[in-house]
Amino acid sequence: MADRPGARAAIAAVTTEFEEFADTTAPGPDGAGDGPLSWVGYADSRARAAARTGEDESVVYGLASVGGRPCVLVSFEFGFLGGSLGQRTGDRLEAAYEAARVRALPLVSLIATGGSRMQEGMVALTQLQRVARASARLRAAGPAQLAVLRDPTTGGGWATLGAGADVILALPGAQVGFAGSRVRPPDADPHAYSAEGQLAAGQIDAVVPPDELPRTVAHWLRALRGTDSPAVPAPVPHALSTTGLPVTGWDAVRQARSPARPRAEAYLDAYFDHRLPLAGDRCGGTDPGLLCGFGWRDGRSIAYVAQCGTATRPAGYRTAARAVRLADRLGVPVLTLIDTPGAANDAAAERAGAGAAIADAFAAMAEARVPLTTLVIGEGGSGGALALAAPGNTHVTRDSYFSVIAPELAAAILKRTPDEVLATADQLRLRPQDLVELGFARSVVGPPGE
């Protein structure tokens, strides 16, 4: 415990601009003495914790500025009864969420907690419901919630403030999990309960070294800050290749499948001044073939979803839907880059809910109130690509195609011979210029200067 930074040290690590809220949560009849359960020695434990830490509860909260970006900041004091959540903790957390809602500011939580305070029994446990309600009210009002997971982040604190945040960052080596170290199975894999393990499982967005935390939090606060004016559509990226228009359908397929063609990473690097990743579907899955996040371009925030040329997995579609819905709530326009032969169709994908995940991506795009912009930069394989395409605002590069089905599969379904695949590609009218003529694409984009 001695080597774990306290609440105020954690605050000082991200900002020097912090104004603590006046405490209006003095204990009532149930919070006096040994608490609502009359737990013998509880008052003495609180007194010792206060003397040791200089705090009278397990959380500190107030107004802060991180990198010039205002927010409401909550920080846990692990030295005060293991950063546990009791009734007064719930009072303070609810007050912090409400302050963020009233001021229309994002909420940043620096979490270090062992869970609910057993000395207060069910009174402590029900504080999780209070936190969940306060979080829901803030979410409905719009402002973002960002969590920084310190060591440890376990129990109800992880399952509410932590996992319930829009963006989740963690410090290296932090213990993160619903089960604390003393209650999990003795043979459990410790990696599963670490920040790095949770990142691999799609539960958090990034593991951030301490010296990079202030800058990263500031970048996120800038990216997640919504606008009061209607969002302007994201500009269509320029093409990164000088390939000419394909003559035949199979030429289009061949150009889109070329290993030399620019991929999503190159497009994102050229498009954004700075970008921040959202990683994982929060359901235990990741898809390395799909990149999501928020980026900064020409002084404004744009969310992005980019396929990287592989078959998109269910976790990828769920992550994409998460990114689109967050951007929609914040009033941030969305750019999607299409490049996939289609949705993953192996048995593992079916067991992971491919159909439901694709349906959810379609729904997120259809429900979005912010402008959506799409550029097809490679393969546009059937519904697995269409799920992330902007209706009415999709553009294509010269080295791309979009088709109801791949030519080879179409020929197989129609019981055609392999030498008829090329003619089938022509029949499908999948070339970039065909897509414009059919009304699917608005334009064929070229490189800068054209």
Q: pLDDT averaged over consecutive 10-residue blocks of the chain (450 residues)?
A: 81 96 64 86 95 96 96 97 95 97 97 95 96 97 97 94 97 92 83 94 97 97 80 94 95 96 97 96 95 95 97 98 97 97 96 97 97 98 97 97 94 93 96 97 91
Q: Which pLDDT value is given to residue 360?
A: 98
Closest CA to 341 of 374, 308, 388, 305: 308
CB contact at 8 A, 139 and 103: no
User: pTM for this one?
Assistant: 0.94
The pLDDT of residue 230: 76
Residues 6+ apart with CB under 8 A from 32: none
Cis ω for the linkage preceding 314 (within 30 of 0): no
Give the chain's largest Cα–Cα span: 86
Q: Is 22 helix (H, G, I), strand (E, B) or coil?
A: coil
Tell me what pLDDT residue 179 has. 81
Task: Give the per-residue pLDDT at 180.
Answer: 77
Helices (H), 104-229: 121-125, 127-141, 155-157, 195-200, 213-223
